[in-house]
Amino acid sequence: MSKHGRILVAMSGGVDSSVAAVMLHEQGYEVIGLTMKTWDYASAGGSSKETGCCSLDSINDARALAVGYGFPHYILDIRSEFGDFVIDNFVDEYIAGRTPNPCVLCNTHIKWEALLKRADKLDCEFIATGHYANVRLQDNGRYVISKGKDENKDQSYVLWGVSQKNLARTKFPLGSFSKPEIRQMALDMGQVELAGKSESYEICFVPDNDYRSFLRHKVKDLEGRVAGGDFVLADGTIVGKHQGYPFYTIGQRKGLGIALGHPMFVTSIQPDTNTVVLGTADELERKQAWVKNLNLVKYETITEPIEAVTKIRYKDAGTQSTIVQMGQHMKVDFLHNVSGIAPGQSAVFYEGNDLLGGGFLM
């Protein structure tokens, strides 16, 4: 019988989840490793060589590590539910003129649910992942996510949607470590190849990092339907033709294929008329945002205005703001202008290092 009980660890085959699994194993947990197969991207026009968390190499690396340390390892095929939910949403959001956040959706609706469902079948009390974040139970009975020690790797931003009941059974073993420390641990384990594995910043089902090609592959005759729309200025002046509104994102400057004598950015996308609005950097700035599909983490409600730092994208440093719930939405008033608020992206609210909650920008 293990010292701490049985725990199911999500293992991608990368250095983070591998070290997390070994760490828990050495702490006395009865570890069971699980690798989730989310996507087979050769079928979606990806490159011929599969890479990343769903590749056969990654699955084999995870299994080899588990075998080496003497704990069980399973593979869970969730391609069907992943595709039906995450990928369909990804396509639908771009067609609606928004910029989706698939990793948030996957964590919120697919990965945690799949892990806990399998954890129940395997009689595991807890699940663990290799995210750089922390979770704790506070006095008000709520589980709170806080930033990981490594500011460069903190992944709390993509975890805002995880529910309280799921957080209650979640552990993040890497939260108090930096990425260099984790790589060193892998070396100390004798896992030289693992320690040297490169980072993956791509969306797992768009491994060529070309979402436009992915959309063309998924949506029949997309280019034929959307090519030739107007680039316009804020006053409605037509300044050129574009390749189709789904192929542009808010804040985009490069690849517009238009020269107006000074830098221009995408400031608005209007799918109903296949129009892409261009403007200056100043026209891209906003001082207020509205957020929907809220999930609050630290407090059950925020019905009185409170000060928070709001991040509007993963690598955003965050901006001081005042937030307050207005019905089903959160109103965010920024202390100073922020640039590139993109509908569909996540807005995530922090109080110090603690995650207050988040939602999708409107």
Catalytic residues: 106, 204
Question: Burial, 17: exposed, middle or buried (Cβ in 10 Å; 0-12, 13-18, 19+)?
Answer: buried
Q: For residue 349, what are its two tokens?
A: 């609210």
Residue ranges for the binding site for ATP?
10-17, 36, 130
Cα gap 169→160, rounded to integer Å: 16
3-class secondary-structure state, position 64: helix
Burial label, 45 (beta-carbon count in 10 A; 0-12, 13-18, 19+): middle
- Own/partner contacts of 265-269, CB < 8 Å, gap of 24 or more, are 265/340, 267/234, 269/97, 269/98, 269/245
**Which residues belong to the annotated binding site?**
10-17, 36, 130
* 66 CB-side CA count, 13 A: 25
Give the DSSP letter string of 88-117.
HHHHHHHHTT----HHHHIIIIIIHHHHHH
Say if CB 108 and CB 145 are below 8 A apart: no
- Give the amino acid at 303: T
For residue 42, which of 27, 25, 54 has the smallest C-alpha distance?
54
Rounded to whole angstroms, how far apart are CA atoms 155 and 140?
24
Residue type, 100: P
